[in-house]
Each structure stands twice: as structure tokens, then as C-alpha cells.
Chain A
Amino acid sequence: MSIIPVSYYLVLSAVLFGLGVIAFVFKRNIITVFMSIELMLNAVNLAFVAFARAHNQLDGLVFVFFVIVVAAAEAAVGLALVIMIAQNRQSLSVERMNHLKF
């Protein structure tokens, strides 16, 4: 068969997304947490592209384009913030950044 069913791609996307979630919940380094966000975004991109191909439409690809662009912007600003916090606190642990507590 030369047709790979869309569901394969979707499964892969789901798995990657789930792994991204796990990484988000369990990692202690804030940069690693950011990276897990990127991983999740990538998983979603894969799903979009797969559907774009399946329905033979370009809208999914355009969306992926925008997602990548926005991810870039977000990463830039986010990492700038991380730098500031890290220099302030001398620590990159998420646990230390709990000043929004009750």
C-alpha cells in the first residue's frame, strides 16, 4: 500500500503530545518546561499537516505556518523572561518560583 492512513499520523501526534504533557508536568528546570511546550506544539503541527493532506486543502499548512511563527515569538519573549528570573533568583528550578502562592 502506498497510502498511509491519517490515523497513523494522528496516533503519532497524540503520543508526542502526551509525552510533551508529561515532560511539562514532571521536569523541574524551567527551560526544559519551555521545551516541552515546543514539543506539544510540534505534535499539533503534525496533526494539522496530516489533515491538510487528507482533505487536500492548504488551510492546515497555513495554520502550521502561523503556529511556527508564533512559537518563535513566544520562545523569544519567554526566554528573555527566563533569563531575568534566573539572574534574579540564581536558580532555574520551577519549585523556587512559587511567589504567586496564597
Chain B
Amino acid sequence: MSVPFVLFFVCGALAVTGAVLVIAAREPIHSALALVLVMVALAVLYLLLGAPFIAAVQIIVYAGAIMVLFVFVIMLLNAGVEERTDFSAIAKYIGLPLGFVLIFWAAHWLWRSQAAAAIGTSASIPAASSHDLSVELFRQYLFPFEATSILILIAILGALVLARKEQ
């Protein structure tokens, strides 16, 4: 039982717990916090996978900005307890079973997949440094990078326009 394994299982368990809590929580704010838990657990897993930059981005951007935004909005709108209404027939009889099927079937298949098992994650491979990542970003993926910046700009403008009150 080496450290990576233990860490993996612990973080994995945390992530799954968080996800279940997202579903099970009564109040949206509890769901949001559970989601933050998931993200933090995933960040640790990224570290384990040798992607420190991504882990940092995950914490800073995802958990630190996006989820904060979610929390803000929930607070702003005073989203209270969800009312209980009936599921639609489709959701009740097909959606839920299908969801479970999806999970278990994919997991099962993945578990048994030989191609995946053959490729392990070796600890001997060095972690991907930020240097290497940024080299990739600014060379091969320059165009998508710039396009994404424009995308963010548009998103900012869009959010501004939408959220503004009518004068």
C-alpha cells in the first residue's frame, strides 16, 4: 500500500462523496459546497497524475472563481429549499435507471479494458512543468489560445449586458 494508492482512494472517495452530496443536498448552497469538495479532491488527483499546473488552475479558476460565482448567485437569488414536485414519467422510469446503467457499465468496461490497463501511470515519468505546457500553448495551440481569449471577452460583455438592469 503505497502512498499514491492510498491518496488515490481517499481522494476518489472524497470526490464521489461530494458528487453524491451534490445530488442529495436539499439546499443549493450545500450542493455548491459539495461541488467545491469534489474539485479540491480532483485537484489532488491531478497532482498525483503529474500535472501541477492544471491542479493549480483547477483550484484558482474552477474552485476559486467559478464556484464562488455560483455561490454569489445562489446568495443573490436567495435560492431556498427546492420544492418537491413529481418527476416526469420519462425521468422516473428511464432516466434514473439509465444513469445507473451508464455509470456501472462504463466503469465495468473500463475496468476490464486491457488497453487501458496496459498503460499505467509511472511514477518515473516526470511531472509536466508549466514551462512545457506554456511552450505547447504558445506554439501548437496558439490559435485556440487566442480564440479562447476572445471568447472570454465575449462572455464578459455578454454577462454585463445580460445582468444589467433596464434603465
Contact = CB atoms under 8 A, between A and B. Distances in A.
Interface of B: 2, 4-5, 8, 12, 15-16, 19-20, 22-23, 28, 31-32, 35, 38-39, 42, 45-46, 48-51, 53-54, 57-58, 61-62, 65-67, 69-70, 73-74, 76-77, 79, 82-83, 85, 87, 91, 95-96, 99-100, 102-104, 106-107, 110-111, 113, 116-117, 119-123, 125, 128, 132-133, 136-137, 140-141, 144, 148, 151-152, 154-156, 158-159, 162-163
A71 B137 CA distance: 18
Contact of A16 (B38, B111, B151): B38
B11 to A, nearest CB: 9
Contacts of B87: 26
A55 interface: yes
Interface string A22-65: 11011111011011101100100110011011111011011011
B102 A53 contact: no
Interface of A: 1-12, 14-23, 25-29, 31-32, 34-36, 38-39, 42, 45-46, 49-50, 52-56, 58-59, 61-62, 64-66, 68-77, 79-84, 86, 92-93, 95
Identify whether the interface residues of B are mostly helix, strand, loop, or mixed: helix
A7 B116 contact: yes
14 contacts: A4-B48, A14-B107, A18-B100, A19-B19, A19-B20, A19-B22, A21-B102, A31-B70, A39-B22, A50-B49, A52-B128, A68-B61, A75-B66, A81-B162
